[in-house]
Amino acid sequence: MHYPLTSLTAAGVERVVVVANVRTSSIIKEVVESAPQIITDNVDVEFIINKAPERGNGYSLLLAIPSINESRFIVSMADHIYPPRLVKLIYSASGSVLGGDSSPKYIDVRESTKIHVEDGRVSRIGKDVRYFEYVDVGVHVLERDLNYRKCSVEDIIELSSLLECLARDSIIRVADVAGTPWTEVDTYEDYLEVTSGSRRPVVEEVLSEWRDLGISVRK
């Protein structure tokens, strides 16, 4: 979690709502509390406990909505690694936008969430989308007044299905981050790739950008 939290803070985020699984919430709190000083000194962190994690990560987002005060807010996956400039690029677009990559380099596209766009707006999003133009980078900007209530009726609500539902009612576009390094760590194999394999350049570039911003980091 330190990687996305640090990049979000470096991009200017001052308040974070962390939705934690009820079974691992104490560990997650310890991780956040041990975060680099830039986070502990500059970010107000609110924890929300998800007592029904089996309902999906879209349900986790829905739990956070009542705590959102701004008209637009950033959604970030906790297991993604990306530089601050990726956050700024996506947030600079107007309205609701999904972070997408038209030419992903450090990800297994076969296992990734894909985004299909029609007439400039999001049409489909999911791992099983056959025709797609972008891979989901795990960082999005949504508007507070989208119709979340209409999209919260299912028992299991994955984030991709929630976003696709929201896109049917409202215009949601894609911000293409092509050329900006990013990756995710889902498995132990991913971890090895990030620490000493083909995805290591992502970490090196993220750390380099942090240093340029005056953030002290350890490898």
**Coil/strand/helix, residue 5:** helix
- Give the Cα separation of 142 and 211 in Å (integer): 29
Scan for tokens 């680099």, then name that residue: 36
Sign of the alpha-carbon torsion through 86, 88, 93, 94: positive
Indicate the domain borders of the chain.
Answer: 2-212
User: Mean pLDDT, 10 residues at a time, over the chain (219 residues)?
Assistant: 90 92 84 75 87 92 94 94 96 96 93 95 95 96 94 90 95 95 92 93 93 77
End-to-end Cα, the chain, rounded Å: 15
**In this structure, are strands 44-50 and 15-21 parallel, antiparallel, or unpaired?**
parallel
Check if CATH label 3.90.550.10 holds for domain 2-212: yes
- Give the Cα separation of 147 and 170 in Å (integer): 8
Per-residue pLDDT at 181:
95
Which conformational region is residue 36 in: left (phi greater than 0), alpha (psi within -120 to 50 degrees), or beta? beta
**Coil/strand/helix, residue 43:** coil
**pTM higher than 0.75 for the full model?**
yes
CA atoms within 13 A on the CB side of 117: 19
Per-residue pLDDT at 122:
97
**Coil/strand/helix, residue 107:** coil
Per-residue pLDDT at 137:
96
- Give the Cα separation of 213 and 85 in Å (integer): 11
Per-residue pLDDT at 219:
52
Dump the DSSP string for 183-210. EE--SHHHHHHHHHSTTHHHHHHHHHHH
Contacts of 179 by beta carbon, 8 Å cutoff, 6+ apart: 103
